[in-house]
Amino acid sequence: MAMVATFAQQKGGSGKTTLLTQVAAALIAAGRRVALVDLDPQRSLAGWVDARARARHGELDLAFFESSEWRASGDIRRAGGEADVVMVDCPGAADVLLRAAMRAADLVVIPAQPSAPDAWATRATLKMAAREGALARVVLNRVPPRGGPGETVERLLRDEGAEFVETRIGNRIAFANAFLEGLGVTETPRGGKAAEEIAALTAELRAVLG
């Protein structure tokens, strides 16, 4: 049975699509069969998949489903028939859709930037995941090298029972560049720190998914 990881966060622009594509590329490199499901009408994930198909001269190394609210559950199930890991990209605020995507998930990955508004949105997203009976992990994204409210945000949410992955993702231009090319930073020649972070995040998520 395929494992389903849903990337969700009610706050827009937290890094759902970016981190999903990065982890997907790392899983593919590790030999996993990956299927992606785009539930966001903005279709950013579809853009990455298109760029990847171009970069690979049309030979896409993943399965892709452009889905919508009323087809979500069926598409996630179908995606599971074609892959070891299904990764679901959610829009920001989308109540009914988010619930369906969480219900289908073995793991909900919640990217959050180290800021108060992200912390508040994370709290709401975690509550929703708990109501749907889904295991959830928060990933701190765009973390500055030092300082900032990251520690405070994490402590606050941990006190309420939130679970974080240990890996923190820095604010790195390499992610935006790789996205344009339909790649993961682990697939680019100078992946650097970004590639190290994604390798560590992928290993952690694989451990949680079992």
Ligand X SMILES: Nc1ncnc2c1ncn2[C@@H]1O[C@H](COP(=O)(O)OP(=O)(O)OP(=O)(O)O)[C@@H](O)[C@H]1O
Query: Which C-beta is closer to ligand X: that of 170 or that of 208?
Result: 170
Query: Which C-beta is closer to ligand X: that of 13 or that of 81?
Result: 13
172 vs 179: CA distance, rounded Å: 12
Please state whether 192 falls in left (phi above 0), alpha (psi between -120 and 50) or beta: left
Q: Which does 188 bind (CB under 5 to 8 A by kind): Mg ion, ligand X, none?
A: none
Going by C-beta distance under 8 Å and a sequence separation of 6 or more, which residues neighbour residue 149? 114, 115, 116
Q: Which does 18 bind (CB under 5 to 8 A by kind): ligand X, Mg ion, none?
A: ligand X
Helix (H) or strand (E) holding 203: helix 192-209
Under the criterion CB under 6 A, does residue 142 sit at the interface with ligand X?
A: yes
Q: What is the closest distance, in whole angstroms, from the C-beta atom of residue 7 to ligand X in the complex? A: 8
Under the criterion CB under 6 A, does residue 67 sit at the interface with ligand X?
A: no
Going by C-beta distance under 8 Å and a sequence separation of 6 or more, which residues neighbour residue 43? 66
Going by C-beta distance under 8 Å and a sequence separation of 6 or more, which residues neighbour residue 189? none
Q: How many CB atoms lie within 10 A of CB 73?
A: 14
Among 11, 16, 137, 172, indicate the residue that binds Mg ion (CB under 5 A).
16
Q: Which does 137 bind (CB under 5 to 8 A by kind): ligand X, Mg ion, none?
A: none
Going by C-beta distance under 8 Å and a sequence separation of 6 or more, which residues neighbour residue 177? 188
Q: What is the closest distance, in whole angstroms, from the C-beta atom of residue 176 to ligand X in the complex? A: 4
83 vs 74: CA distance, rounded Å: 15
Under the criterion CB under 6 A, does residue 52 sit at the interface with ligand X?
A: no
Span interacting with ligand X, options 72-80, 122-130, 172-180, 185-193, rule CB under 6 A: 172-180
Ranges of H-type helices in 56-107? 72-80, 95-103
Query: Which C-beta is closer to ligand X: that of 73 or that of 171?
Result: 171
Q: Which does 73 bind (CB under 5 to 8 A by kind): ligand X, Mg ion, none?
A: none
Pairing of strands 3-7, 85-89: parallel
Q: What is the closest distance, in whole angstroms, from the C-beta atom of residue 192 to ligand X in the complex? A: 13
Please give the residue ranges that form the binding site for ligand X (CB under 6 A).
Answer: 9, 12-18, 40, 42, 44, 91-92, 141-142, 169, 171-172, 175-176, 179
Please give the residue ranges that form the binding site for Mg ion (CB under 5 A).
Answer: 16-17, 44
